[in-house]
Structures are given as C-alpha cells and as structure tokens.
C-alpha cells in the first residue's frame, strides 16, 4: 500500500 | 503526546481539532443516476475522504507513536467503517436520506439503480435511525469513530510488527479512548445506571457498523469485478488490502 504509507509518512498536512 | 498524560477532556478536545473537513463531490452528474454514474460518484467521494481520514488518524493522540506497520493495518481494516459512521453522523437529522456530501444527498429509493446497494442503504439508514433515537452527541460520535480505528485489528498486530511496544501502546490508547467516552457520557448528567446502559447501547451499534462495512466491501469488490466502476488510487489500495487478506 504505497500511497497510504506515503501519506502516513508525510509530516506536513 | 502520549495519551496517558492527557485527561479525558483534553483527549476529546484533540479529537474535535482532528476532525476532517466536509468533502464535496464537486462535479455531480445530472439525475437520474445510472448504476455507473452513482458508483462513480460514491467512489470518487470515498477516495477524497480517505486522504482526509489519514490526516485525521495522525492527529489522534498516540496514533503516530504506533509503528508504521500497525498504523497501516488499522487504517486498512477500518476505512469503510469510518466512512460509514461519518455518513451516519451527517445523516442523523435527515430521516430516509443519506448525506454522502452536501452535494450528494441520496434518497433510499435511489439505491434501486445500483444492483445490491439498496440492502446496504437500508442497513445504513437503520443504524442512523438508532443513533437518532439515542440522540447521539457530537463528542460521543468522535469517541466512537476513534474507537473503531483503534479496535479494528482482527489479528494480533505484533505478528508482523517489528515493534513489540506498539501493541502495548495500542492497548493504552484504547483505554484512553474508553475513558474519554465514559467521561463524555458521565458529563451528560444521566443517572449512573443509565450511563452504563448508554455506553453499552453505543458500543453495540459498532457491530452494526462493522456488518454494514463488510457488506459494502463485498459490494464494491463485485462492482469492480463486473467493471461497473473503475477503482483507482488510494481507494484501490484500500480495497485490495481487504481482498488480499481474505484469500
């Protein structure tokens, strides 16, 4: 689940 | 912030601040819907909401302290339940209608145009009427939604996790959210015995949300297999997570 991990990993909202 | 240092009141305050914005569909197709256009609208909206859901989860005190693997598993397990409980909350004042978004309000009978979806609409409407009957309060709704996320693991999370502390943290988090819900109910001024009844009634509803979500997942999968609607992006990932797990 690439996009989910990517969104979880980004700190800036 | 570790949740155990937050009072229930502070915990609820952070939940209020974590609330995602209301999403609009924007380009709503003209009525009447066809099977394809309704499924397209619903999946487009879900995809938009999912992005905000991840932002919401990250703002729940303690969630980002869990290992990434656990964060992924929890969100993959519960995303449709979270979408559905949000839909119920938006629809609570509108009997017979499902307020998917301010620009996507569907009547029960409109579910007839998508094969198999009417049954799910009826489940959602029934659970929503029960919440209306119980006069669900906003803060209770916020606690229940966070509880769905934190309680969504069906397998011991540590099985594939590289961080054994993560499941301990998760248990702490679940206790913190339980304390928050108990505090919200106690603050309502109900007699003690009725407080326990209310807590039980609210928690019992969560099994109905899980049931509707399972039915919805099955339905979305069949719509995708029959090529009624293309599923892409984040929604596709989230749907695949369920499909792969079931096999």
- The confidence score (pLDDT) of residue B167 equals 87
Q: How far apart are alpha carbons B211 and B156 in whole angstroms?
A: 21
Residue of A nearest to B55 (CA): A13
**Which of A3, A5, A12 is the best substitution to test chain B (most B C-beta atoms within 10 A)?**
A3
CB contact (8 A) between residue A8 and residue B237: no
Query: How many cross-chain Cβ pairs, A to B, lie less than 8 Å apart?
Result: 32
Task: Name the closest residue on chain A to residue B74, using Cα atoms.
Answer: A4
Residue B94 CA to residue B105 CA, distance in Å, equals 10
Give the pair of three-digit tokens for residue B163.
């961080």
The alpha carbon dihedral of B182, B183, B184, B187 has a sign of positive
Residue B143 has pLDDT above 50, yes or no: yes
Question: Binning pLDDT at 50, 70 and 90, where does residue A13 land?
Answer: very low
- pLDDT tens string B70-129: 999 999 999 999 999 999 999 999 999 999 999 999 999 999 999 999 999 999 999 999
Q: Check CB contact of B24 with chain A, cutoff 8 Å.
A: no
Cβ–Cβ contact A13 with B under 8 A:
yes
Compute CA distances B14 → A12, B3, B10, B177, B209, whole Å.
18, 10, 6, 11, 24
**How many residues are there in chain B?**
247
The confidence score (pLDDT) of residue A7 equals: 94
The yes-or-no verdict on residue B146 having pLDDT over 60 is yes
Residue-level pLDDT at B243: 82
The predicted-structure confidence for B30-60, as pLDDT tens digits, reads as follows 778 999 999 999 999 999 999 999 999 999 9
Q: Does B239 score more than 60 pLDDT?
A: yes
**B143 near B151, Cβ under 8 Å?**
no
């Amino acid at each position: 689940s690439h996009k989910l991990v990517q969104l979880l990993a980004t700190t800036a909202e | 912030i570790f949740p155990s240092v937050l009072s229930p009141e502070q915990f609820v305050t952070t939940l209020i601040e974590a609330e995602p914005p209301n999403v609009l569909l924007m380009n709503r197709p003209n009525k009447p819907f066809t099977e394809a256009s309704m499924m397209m609208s619903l999946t487009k909206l879900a995809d938009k909401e999912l992005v905000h859901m991840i932002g919401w989860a990250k703002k729940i005190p303690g969630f980002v302290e869990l290992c990434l693997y656990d964060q992924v598993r929890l969100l993959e397990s519960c995303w449709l339940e979270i979408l559905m409980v949000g839909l119920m909350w938006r629809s609570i004042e509108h009997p017979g209608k499902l307020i998917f978004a301010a620009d996507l309000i569907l009547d029960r009978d409109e579910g007839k145009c998508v094969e198999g979806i009417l049954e799910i609409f009826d489940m959602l409407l029934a659970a929503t009427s029960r919440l209306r009957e119980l006069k669900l309060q906003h803060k209770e709704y916020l606690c229940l939604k966070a509880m769905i996320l934190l309680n969504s693991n069906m397998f011991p999370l540590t099985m594939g996790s590289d961080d054994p502390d993560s499941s301990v943290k998760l248990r702490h988090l679940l206790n913190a959210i339980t304390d928050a819900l108990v505090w919200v109910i106690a603050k309502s001024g109900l007699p003690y015995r009725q407080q326990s009844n209310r807590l039980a009634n609210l928690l019992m509803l969560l099994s109905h949300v899980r049931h509707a979500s399972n039915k919805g997942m099955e339905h979305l999968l069949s719509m995708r297999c029959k090529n009624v609607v293309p599923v892409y992006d984040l929604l596709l990932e989230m749907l695949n997570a369920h499909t792969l797990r079931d096999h």
